[in-house]
Amino acid sequence: MAEDESGVLTVYGVAGPLAQIDKTIFSGKAGRAKMFRGGVIIDVVTPDQARIAEEAGACAVMVLENFAADIRTLRIVSRMSDPKIIKDIKEAVNIPVFAKIRIGHFVEAQILDQIGVHSIDESEVLTPADPEYHINKLIIETPFICGCKNLSEALSRIREGAVMIRTKGEAGNGNIMEAVRQIRSITGDIRRLSYMNDTELDAFSRSIFAPYELLKKIKELGRLPVVQFGAGGIATPADAAMMMQLGCDGIIVGSGIFKTQDPGKTAKAIVQAAKHYNDPAILAEVSYGLGSAMVGIILDNDVARFD
């Protein structure tokens, strides 16, 4: 998928019935996603948490059944939130309400599309329903968000119809390292595209199983053709600003706010850090006196990498 000068999005590498999908509708989805650039989307479980997020200046809230930190610690199966909770949250706030579903669970997507959330996150944070087959997002009216670890995954999700891409990071562990590694991988590959001729670009497209035309458009744009957010392990205002400086359009954070000593103050600080990510004076000011951040978790593979 890419955007031409008229603002119409073209879906590349799609054959058969999908090629007949109304491009105008898809373009509208991408246009709505661009409205969230520079903002912070905050994960919430309850209406009270959604109010805290709105008060802090979040551009949207993302509803999930359990915070990533709890899913990780308790090793529990996590699914789409109860539609009643989503309805209650929609009634509690005046900002857009997104919601997470399990990877591959197209029925959860149908339900969220029916109840009218503003965007659906097909999320690896929840317990996957069908890890081998992501949802065909082109046939569902509600815009989709998807995670990725690298450019190949990002392009796969865009080809399926995602209009917002985010890093996967290591959600719920309070460690920014994986998210940093992933955004550097994506932006690094995009920079390398600028040095490739058509032959090299064609070979690279085949090596990462991506449509050549889509990579060519990314080369022209110098970035992904959709909004790209940073997520997974963000726990401080400095983390949020770092991801923005590395090339993200915005931030998604949940456990890093609601597993802290003062969620309201931390949420406001992270929103301000994303907004003023290039101003060290403001970053220092909003970082002052936040109290204890969420407890970070060192993963076994993190330790092994630095022995």
- Look at phi and psi of residue 73 and say left if phi exceeds 0, alpha if psi is from -120 to 50, else beta: alpha
Element (H, E) at 256: helix 255-258
pLDDT at position 5 = 41
Instruction: Please give the single-letter amino acid code of residue 6.
Output: S
Average pLDDT over the chain, rounded to an integer: 89
- Annotated catalytic residue, options 100, 137, 168, 275: 100
pLDDT at position 50 = 98
Which of 87-96, 206-215, 294-303 shows the highest mean pLDDT? 87-96
pLDDT above 60 (res 17): no
Centre a 10 Å sphere on the Cβ of residue 35 and count the other Cβ atoms it contains.
12
Closest CA to 167 of 60, 78, 239, 217: 239
The HSE-up count of residue 66 (CA atoms within 13 Å, CB side) is 17
151 and 189 Cβ atoms separated by less than 8 Å: yes
Q: How confident is the model at residue 32 (pLDDT cuts 50, 70, 90)?
A: confident
**pLDDT tens profile 182-199:** 999 999 999 999 999 999
Instruction: Please give the single-letter amino acid code of residue 291.
Output: G
**pLDDT tens profile 124-167:** 999 999 999 999 998 999 999 999 999 999 999 999 999 999 99
Percentage of the chain surpassing pLDDT 90? 77
Q: Parallel, antiparallel, or unpaired for β 40-44 and 60-63?
A: parallel
Q: How confident is the model at residue 9 (pLDDT cuts 50, 70, 90)?
A: very low
In whole angstroms, give the CA distance from residue 84 to residue 90: 10
Does this model's pTM top 0.95? My answer is: no
In whole angstroms, give the CA distance from residue 238 to residue 138: 36
pLDDT above 50 (res 18): no
Query: Is residue 168 annotated as part of the catalytic site, yes or no?
Result: no
The helix-helix angle for 237-245 and 263-275 (nearest 10°) equals 20
Closest CA to 237 of 176, 164, 187: 176
pLDDT above 50 (res 207): yes
pLDDT above 60 (res 21): no
Centre a 10 Å sphere on the Cβ of residue 117 and count the other Cβ atoms it contains.
26
Burial class (CB in 10 A: 0-12, 13-18, 19+), 48: exposed
Q: How confident is the model at residue 16 (pLDDT cuts 50, 70, 90)?
A: very low
